[in-house]
Amino acid sequence: MPLIEKSTYKPPFLFGNGHVQSIVPTLFRKVRGVAYTRERINTPDNDFIDLDCSGLNADRAVIIIHGLEGNASRAYMLGMARAFNRRGWDSVSINLRGCSGEPNRLIRSYHSGISDDLDTVVCHLVEKDKYASLALVGFSIGGNIILKYLGEKGPEGSPLIKAAAAVSVPCDLASSARKLADLSNMIYMKRFLKLFHEKIKAKMALMPEKINDRNFKSIRTFQQFDDRYTAPIHGFADADDYWSACSSKQFLSAISIPTLMISAWNDPFLPEECYPREEAGRSDVLYLEIPDSGGHVGFIHFNSRGEYWHETRITSFVCEHSGVSRKRGQVCS
CA atoms within 13 A on the CB side of 51: 22
DSSP 4-62: E-S-S--PPTT--SHHHHHHHHHHH--------EEEEEE-TTS-EEEEEEE--S-SEEE
- Nearest partner of 274 among 168, 203, 184, 124, judged by Cα: 168
Q: Which of 93, 100, 140, 176 is catalytic?
A: 140
Do 66 and 77 contact (CB within 8 A), yes or no? yes
Adjacency order of strands within the sheet including 133-139: 3-4, 286-289, 259-262, 161-167, 133-139, 60-65, 90-95, 48-54, 37-42
State residue 279 phi and psi, 5-degree precision. Answer: -65, -40
- CA atoms of 299 and 310, how far apart (whole Å): 6
Q: Which of 7, 226, 267, 322 is catalytic?
A: 267
Do 54 and 87 contact (CB within 8 A), yes or no? no
- Nearest partner of 143 among 64, 253, 244, judged by Cα: 64
Is 140 labeled as catalytic in the residue annotation? yes
Identify the sign of the CA torsion 93, 98, 104, 108. Answer: positive
- CA atoms of 315 and 164, how far apart (whole Å): 10
Q: Which of 296, 301, 310, 321 is catalytic?
A: 296
Going from the C-alpha of 95 to that of each of 65, 66, 127, the distances in angstroms are: 7, 7, 20
Q: Cβ–Cβ contacts within 10 Å for residue 101, how many?
A: 10
Q: Which residues on neighbouring strands pair with residue 54, listed in sequence order? A: 91
Do 332 and 96 contact (CB within 8 A), yes or no? no
DSSP annotation of 149 reads H
Q: Active-site residue numbers?
A: 140, 267, 296
